[in-house]
A and B are shown apart, each in its own frame.
Chain A
């Protein structure tokens, strides 16, 4: 089964710093790359998503960078805040079905005040 590989597993960043989480995918048929944010006791919520026809998408302090040749996409959180402390998941559609969403293993982000 195709996988979505996410790193690092955990990350600690000082308040105001930049948090970077990476994701690697296997199948070039993917055409939709979302990031989800999950707080304890809650379900994941869509944070930001990108399609491969652009190399970067920015929404406020959150940016997705997409590298098609390397089959990687990353999430950058600028000016990280304690409220950003959460678990982040990248996801991608399955090769066999565009509507089947496969999640990475998650990155637990902690922002130190």
Chain B
């Protein structure tokens, strides 16, 4: 079984620039999550999709962050404009149905905002 794929692995941008991350979940997984992990902290949920609908985006800074999941498969997370405090690892995860089924994480995108 292929795992969750994320790209790019690393990204360095200047503040006020924009950036986009891509995620391809495990085939057949209905639920997709984007987490933000700041160094030394636990992952923080940004947005959760069930198929192509948003289930929870309560902690997504909607003035600068946006996400979509096209056709219920791949997903992109965008930040525009970036701030210094956005420096973090952005993790994508998927699960079969979101109801107490294990989360499968990608290796993340490490974003550095200078």
Interface-facing stretch out of A13-21, A60-68, A69-77, A98-106: A98-106
Q: Does B108 contact A (CB under 8 A)?
A: yes
- In the complex, number of A-B residue pairs with CB atoms less than 8 Å apart: 59
Check if A103 sits within 8 Å of B102, measured CB to CB. no
Q: Does A44 contact B (CB under 8 A)?
A: yes
A90 and chain B: residue at smallest CB distance: B42
- Given contact pairs A98-B99, A103-B42, enumerate 20 new A-B contacts (beta carbons under 8 Å): A42-B107, A43-B91, A43-B105, A43-B107, A44-B105, A49-B102, A97-B55, A98-B100, A99-B50, A99-B97, A99-B99, A99-B100, A100-B48, A100-B55, A100-B56, A101-B33, A103-B35, A105-B41, A106-B41, A106-B42
Q: Can you list 15 contacts pairing A with B, beta carbon distance less than 8 Å?
A: A43-B4, A43-B105, A43-B108, A46-B103, A49-B102, A93-B100, A97-B56, A100-B45, A100-B48, A100-B56, A102-B45, A103-B35, A103-B42, A103-B43, A106-B42
